[in-house]
Amino acid sequence: MTSSRLVKILAMVALAAALAGCQERRDPGFQGWVEADMIFVSPDEAGRVVKLNVREGDEVKVGDLLYSVDDDLQQADLNQNKATLANAQQTYDRAASLRGTGAGTQANLDAAVSALRVAQAKVNTSETRLARRKGFAPVAGTIQQIYFREGEMVAAQRPVLSIMPPGNMKLRFFVPEAELPKLSIGDQVRVVCDNCAADLTAKIYFIATTAEYTPPVIYSLDERNKLVYLIQARPSRPDALRVGQPISVYLNPKTPVADRR
């Protein structure tokens, strides 16, 4: 073999090794998606939505008025209990006056006191029911979805709308069993998605202790490779992501990303 031919062969081997090493260093990543833990706001009792103060995509603060549900029945109940309270107050005043002059008994006064307290408690309950016909934002966030519009009937404890607080956004992805030793709570991972910023990261806060797929008989070597575990992470910039968006997650933020096409 001539020296020139030997040099060419060595060069080809070196090039192949370099290309293989470069490809091996590229991280294929793990496929996942964006989710969020929504806050659902609902009325305590059934009714008709009479006013909707927000639209999907609106930003709200804690205490902002979101919607109103018809309150005719609650208002009528309050009026009735107020009338009962007024009568109970008169009965108490009379019993207290008679007891003061010696014409009344202590038993009558005690009964009047008890009736007055019950009537006051019913008024307080009615006022609470009436106040809860309006839905206020329990957290700050973005109106994610509206389920009932003005004029529609909503059942008790059925959400009228949902709010997505920025801190409730999360990334979900699965990793094979062999990758688990590389992961720990608090680890930072790299996040890549279509038309997203290049510097997105997330911090792992949950690692499943059970596999999503369990072989029915024996954990053979081939079957163990099918085991995957759910991982959840909080994005550092939740405003840059959207619920339902597909993503790719890379365990080493500095590793070159493999071609995803």
Using pLDDT thresholds of 50, 70 and 90, give the confidence band for residue 260: very low
pLDDT at 24 over 50: no
Please count the structural domains in the chain: 2
- pLDDT digit string, tens, across residues 38-59: 999 999 999 999 999 999 999 9
- Residue that is last in its domain, among 132, 152, 176: 132
pLDDT at 219 over 60: no
Using pLDDT thresholds of 50, 70 and 90, give the confidence band for residue 217: very low
pLDDT at 25: 53
Between these two residues, 122 and 14, which has the higher pLDDT value? 122
Tell me: do 32 and 82 sit in the same domain. no
- pLDDT digit string, tens, across residues 67-125: 999 999 999 999 999 999 999 999 999 999 888 887 778 888 899 999 999 999 999 99
The tokens of 119 are what?
């009537």
Is residue 57 assigned to a domain? Answer: no
CA dist 119 and 81 (Å) reads 7
The residues, ordered by sequence, that sit 6+ positions from 222 with a Cβ below 8 Å of its Cβ are none
Q: Which domain covers residue 112, as residue numbers?
A: 71-132
pLDDT at 218 over 50: no
Mean pLDDT score, 2-14: 49
Which range has the worst mean pLDDT, 152-156, 224-228, 230-234? Answer: 224-228
Is residue 19 assigned to a domain? Answer: no
Q: In what order do the strands lie in the sheet with 153-154?
A: 134-136, 65-69, 47-52, 153-154
200: domain CATH number is 2.40.30.170
Between these two residues, 252 and 7, which has the higher pLDDT value? 252
pLDDT at 70: 97
What are the angstrom distances between the C-alpha of 182 and each of 185, 188, 232, 250? 11, 12, 15, 12
Tell me: do 191 and 234 sit in the same domain. yes
Tell me: do 186 and 231 sit in the same domain. yes
Is residue 99 assigned to a domain? Answer: yes
Is residue 83 assigned to a domain? Answer: yes
pLDDT at 177: 84
- Residue that is last in its domain, among 132, 157, 180: 132
* Strands 141-146 vs 161-164: parallel, antiparallel or unpaired: antiparallel
pLDDT at 23 over 50: no
105: domain CATH number is 1.10.287
pLDDT at 2: 55
Highest mean pLDDT among 20-29, 44-53, 204-213, 231-240: 44-53
Give CA 64 to chain center in angstroms.
19
Is residue 242 assigned to a domain? Answer: yes
Is residue 155 assigned to a domain? Answer: no
- pLDDT digit string, tens, across residues 189-201: 999 988 888 889 9
Is residue 43 assigned to a domain? Answer: no
Is residue 182 assigned to a domain? Answer: yes
pLDDT at 255: 58
- Predicted structure pTM score: 0.71
pLDDT at 40: 97
Question: What's the CA angle centered on 235, arms 27 and 168, to 5 degrees?
Answer: 140
